[in-house]
Amino acid sequence: MRIASFSGGKLRPFFSNSFRELKNGKIENLIIDLRENTGGSITVSGKLLRYLIDHPFTLADTVAAVSRSLQYGKYIQPDFMYKVAMLFTTKKKSDGKYHYTGLENKVHKPFKRQHFTGNIYLLQGGFTFSSASMISAFLKGQENVTIVGEETGGGSYGTSAVYLPTIILPNTRLQITLPLYRIVFDKDNPKTGRGTMPDVLIPPSSISIKEAFDPKLKSVETLIDKHKPVH
């Protein structure tokens, strides 16, 4: 299952149909490729987690912005949409920040009917960011999950996300994207300043690129073959 983004693409019905087929086909091994996934909707990412994770979870302890006034809004097109959204979805708390309370500390339970209980192999890399890196952080250490590849680009402690406005720089007219919210997955996790580390480390290789060879996928195939029952 290659997921290049958590934005667009009618992912909710895709997940539902896919996991129904996996259950009906009695599939025992699932490879999820997030190596090109730089993120997107955390609610959609959370939807995927509910098919995979083996316990109830919260998407975040903290989802907060330092301001909702957008001081340089004239360089954001359109800034009005973000101002209105933040006005009605955030609440100022004692820390002085504006919290998106609808996402904080809300408990999500794993799906029952189409939950995948087989072996999960998660492919990740340096381009695995934001809500994609959240998948890795939440599944790390789960008994039936093996993470293969490189350290995620996104942090294991948290990320920046929710609203991603495009900012047009006034002189160069270059367009950049800067998230408005800081997200902390679990405040009790250590602040290492690092991404989620794989269980099986396979660093990038110029030789594999030259020869159009995928060592990460080959490693997963080897792991699956190793655990096949002998008849």
**CA dist list (Å): 186 to 82, 92, 137:** 26, 20, 10
pLDDT of the residue at 227: 77
pLDDT of 174: 93
Per-residue DSSP letters for 149-185? Answer: ES--SSBSSEEEES---EEE-TTT--EEE--SEEEES
Reading the block at residue 171, the tokens are 């002189």
Using the structure block, give the residue that is written with the tokens 């952080």: 137
- Cβ atoms < 10 Å from Cβ of 178: 11
pLDDT of residue 71: 79
In whole angstroms, what is the distance from residue 177 CA to residue 95 CA? 26
Global model pTM greater than 0.85: yes
How far is residue 128 from each of residues 40, 76, 98, measured CA to CA in Å? 11, 26, 27
pLDDT, averaged per 10 consecutive residues of the chain (231 residues), comes to 90 95 95 93 93 95 88 81 88 93 90 94 94 94 96 90 85 88 88 93 88 90 80 50
Report the interhelical angle of 42-52 vs 11-24 (nearest 10°): 10
pLDDT of residue 122: 97
pLDDT at 149: 96
Whole-number pLDDT of residue 116: 97
Q: DSSP letter at 193?
A: S
Sign of dihedral through CA atoms 107, 44, 200, 191?
negative
